[in-house]
Amino acid sequence: MLDMMKMMGKVKEVQEKMKTAQEELKHIEVEAEAGAGMVKVKLNGKKELIELKIDDSLYSEEDKDLMKDLIIGAVNKGIEEAEVKAREHLQKSTQGLIPNIPGLDLSGMA
C-alpha cells in the first residue's frame, strides 16, 4: 500500500509539472523564413503565429500567389520547429520524475 501511495504522489507531481511546463510554452519562441528571408514568421511553443514579416518587394499584384506560398511554407516550418522545442521543454521539465520509457509520450497530459 505504501508503494501505491508513493506512486500516486509521483503521478500528481508529474501532472503538476506538466501543467506548469505547458503554461510556459507560450514563452518559447522560434523563427522561420521562406524565400531567402522574404517572409519571416515567429511562433511560440503553443504553435501560435505571433509575428509575420513580409518583404516590401512582394506587395505587387502579380506576386500574390507566390506570397501565399511563401507564408504557408514559413508558417509550416515554424510549426515544426515549435513542436521540437515544446517536446524538448516538456521532457526537460519532467526529467527524473518518471522513467524514460521509449515510445511513452506525455505531451497531451495535463
Question: One digit per residue, pLDDT tens: the chain, 110 residues?
Answer: 567 777 777 878 888 888 888 888 889 999 999 999 999 999 888 888 888 888 988 878 788 888 888 888 898 898 989 888 888 888 887 777 666 555 555 555 54
Range of the domain at 33: 19-93
Would residue 62 count as lying in a domain?
Answer: yes
How many domains would you assign to the chain? 1
Would residue 73 count as lying in a domain?
Answer: yes
Would residue 8 count as lying in a domain?
Answer: no
Cell of 100: 524514460
Would residue 59 count as lying in a domain?
Answer: yes
Residue 19 has a pLDDT of: 85
- Identify the CATH number of the domain in which residue 39 sits: 3.30.1310.10
Residue pair 31/41 in contact (Cβ under 8 Å)? The answer is yes
Would residue 101 count as lying in a domain?
Answer: no
Residues in Cβ contact with 69 at an 8 Å cutoff, skipping those fewer than 6 apart: none
What is the C-alpha separation between 34 and 31, in angstroms, rounded? 11
Considering the entire predicted model, what is its pTM?
A: 0.56
Would residue 11 count as lying in a domain?
Answer: no
Residue 5 has a pLDDT of: 75
